[in-house]
Structure 1
Amino acid sequence: MTAPADEVPISADVVTALLAEQHPDLAALPVGRRHSGWDMAMYRLGDDLAVRLPRRAASVGSLEAELRWVPELSRGWTFPTQRVVRVGVPGAVYPWPWAVVTWLPGVPASERPLGVEAGPALGRALAEIHVPVPAGVEPPLNREQSVALAERGPGLASALDLVAASAAERGVRLDRAVADAIWAEALAAPVDLPRTWIHADLHPYNLLSDDGRLGGIIDWADVAGGDPATDLGFLWLSLPPDGLAAAVEAYGGVSAATLARARGVALALAAGWAVWEGEELTIATGWRAMVALGVVR
């Protein structure tokens, strides 16, 4: 699946024009290379900053949610993450809100995988993120990750069929019985935690690797309320098995029910990534997670 095209012109010249118009004290800083995700474009600005801009109209609300909630939620966080430095508004050359954030060194964990040593730091980071949503507060709803576990079932079944059909090409096979058992256990597990804040997109592209150590967590555009088991499920995509165990231990107090739900989320994510139509890095990550879950041998 190919990422959608920009719906409006976005370039280094656009970034420079926006800065000159709204934050002229930053306009002389050199604009670096572009980094593109599904929803956002990001340009490095000088040595210490970056500019984030929605690429699609559908992503504007995500940036607005990030700007609304993350500065407040992050006050007590001790892990490296991007901080909002300036907020931009629609301008003459760009129609949507945008932001200047701090730049973090490192490379995406999709390119340089996290090692076992990253597990404890990532587990502690998730424990800091997963603060219960206060009564009376309505957090953003993530249509993919704030859902009940059972809603992932149809997509999982279709993905597992495709995994089974393509496993032989990779010299492996899908153990459907193991997959079905993981999913059944996840569905049977009670939701034993209150709704918390979650990152909701904690895959390796949104984690920075510093030679295998956790260099930071980025891209809070999908921040939402949900089951903390959702973020924990992403760990199977991002860590080797020993690192995963270390993350869960450092997180602390993970019940058997929460771990079962996390494994169910991990299974749905891994199967979907394994049959992704696009970048091989994404596909390979899904297959590795399926092996770690014990459903592919």
Structure 2
Amino acid sequence: MEIDTPLVRRLVDGQFPQWAGLPLRLVDPAGSDHVIHRLGDELAVRLPRHEGAINQARVEAAWLPRLAPHLPLAVPVPVAVGEPALGYPWSWAVNRWLAGEVATVEVDSVDTVAILGEFLGALQRLPVPARPPSVGRGLAERDADTRAAIASVAGVFDGAALTALWEDALSAPAWGRPPVWFHGDFHTGNLLTVGGRVSAVIDFGGLGVGDPARDLMMAFTLMSPATRAVFRETLGVDDATWLRGRGWALAAGLNAYCAYAVSSPRIAGHTTRQITAALAG
């Protein structure tokens, strides 16, 4: 969806006149899911670009204020949820501005592994509510899309190896313990750093309760083989969960590669690394 600054200005001024006098500046580059503007010095306005991100504003507003006090890293602080208007069809968010730079592989270290392990551990220990947010599609529901993606990248990657990993992940034993909270889209692009140290986790649109394997994606987007092993040991991940985590990393990496690699060399590089790391284990 085309979202320009004049539209965002009209939406903010029309629904939140208390902020009409604040300057509005496009944040570029932003993620693939949202157009982001900084509103004054303290706020950020986030508008979904596509239908896959349209629930994030309400999910974060409902749950992050409850979870944040128990987490060791900063997370988004929802301030308001905007309504569809002026031809824009979806809910949108106003959050507190979080300072920092998007993480890169340069922050990979044992210290970073410890920080991320502490975050996931704290998240997974939180009580599970009777009515948690929807978890979206599981691995099995991604089968057709993932196999189609494998077919489309067979000239770039080893299609037989991709298929073998995917089938192994699908056939791995399911999570047999009580459900736990997961971030749902836990990868390098959803970490912020300050001074080379991880400071915040963002983009909780995939937040849910169930199998924590999907949060192992971080191991295959940020970490080297050595720190990946430390990460697994820190979390005490069993073989079946690790294999499902590789499946999640593979499916997400293929999806992003097929959608964006042609138009973005940066995404092509990141997702190639992710797919290769998932194959390596």
In the alignment, structure 1 residue 282 sits paired with structure 2 residue 279: no
Structure 2 counterpart SS, 1:166: coil
Distance across 2 between alignment mates of 1:259 and 1:51: 36
Q: SS at 1:130's partner residue?
A: helix
Note the aligned Cα RMSD (angstroms): 3.3
Inter-partner Cα distance in structure 1 for 2:15 and 2:259: 40
Which residue number in structure 2 is paired with residue 258 of structure 1? 241
Paired amino acid for 1:83: V
- Quote the residue 1:165 is aligned against: 155
Q: TM-score normalised to the size of structure 2?
A: 0.79
Identity over aligned pairs, percent: 31
What does residue 268 of structure 1 align with? 251
User: Which of structure 1's runs of 4+ aligned residues deviate more than 6 A?
Assistant: none
Q: 1:230: how far off? A: 0.7
Question: Shift in Å at residue 191 of structure 1?
Answer: 1.4
The residue aligned with 2:185 is 201
Comparing both chains, which one has the higher relative contact order based on Cα–Cα distances under 8 Å and sequence gaps of 6 or more? 1
Residues 113 and 209, structure 1, Cα contact 8 Å, conserved in 2: no
Determine whether 1:243 maps to 2:227: yes
State whether structure 2 residue 62 is matched by structure 1 residue 62: no
Distance 1:273 1:17, change over 3 A: closer
Counterpart position of 1:128: 122
Write out per-residue CA displacement over residues 194-215 of structure 1, whole angstroms, 9 at most, x where no aligned residue: 3333222223332224455323
Measured after TM superposition, the shift of residue 266 of structure 1 is 2.2
Change (3 A) 1:271 1:52: closer
Distance 1:273-1:234 versus aligned 2 partners, 3 A rule: farther
Q: Does 1:140 pair with 2:127?
A: no
Shift of 1:262: 1.3
CA contact (8 A) 2:192 2:199 kept: yes
8 Å contact kept, 2:128–2:209: no
Whether 2:23 is the aligned partner of 1:30: answer: yes
Is the counterpart of residue 80 in structure 1 residue 64 in structure 2?
no
Q: Which amino acid aligns with 1:27?
A: A
Change (3 A) 1:249 1:26: farther
Q: How does 1:184-199 map to 2 (within 5 A)?
A: 184=168, 187-199=171-183
* Change beyond 3 A, Cα 1:290–1:211: farther
Offset of residue 182 of structure 1: 7.1
Amino acid at match of 1:280: P
Aligned to 2:197: 213
1:229 alignment counterpart: 213
TM-score, length basis structure 1: 0.76
- Would the alpha carbon gap of residues 181 and 96 (structure 1) be closer, same or farther in structure 2, given more than 3 Å must change? closer
| 1:123–1:246 CA contact under 8 A, matched in 2 | no
| Aligned-partner residue type, residue 262 of structure 1 | G
Q: Which residue of 2 aligns with 1:171?
A: none
Unaligned runs of 5+ in 2: none
2:149 partner amino acid? A
Contact 2:169 2:246 (8 Å CA) reproduced: no
Higher mean C-alpha deviation, range 281-290 or range 35-44: 35-44
Change (3 A) 1:284 1:57: closer
Counterpart residue number, 1:50: 44
- Is contact 1:142–1:200 with CA below 8 Å preserved after alignment? no
Structure 1 regions of 5+ residues with no counterpart?
168-173
User: By how many angstroms is 1:236 displaced?
Assistant: 0.6
Sort the Cα spacing of 1:290 and 1:221 in 2 relative to 1 into closer, same or farther, 3 A.
closer
Figure out how many residues of one structure are paired with residues of the other and give that number: 277
Q: 1:276 to 1:58 in 2, by over 3 A?
A: closer
- In the superposition, relative to structure 1, how do residues 163 and 20 fare at CA in structure 2: closer, same or farther (>3 Å)? closer
What are the superposed Cα offsets for residues 92-149 of structure 1, whole Å, 9 maximum, x if unpaired? 7866543321222222236x65422422212222222335673631422323xxx1x3
Deviation string 1:223-245 (CA, Å, 9 cap, x unpaired) is 23331101113431233333333
Q: Work out the CA distance in 2 between the residues paired with 1:190 and 1:26.
A: 48
SS of structure 1 residue aligned to 2:35: strand
Deviation of 1:89 after TM superposition, in Å, equals 4.0
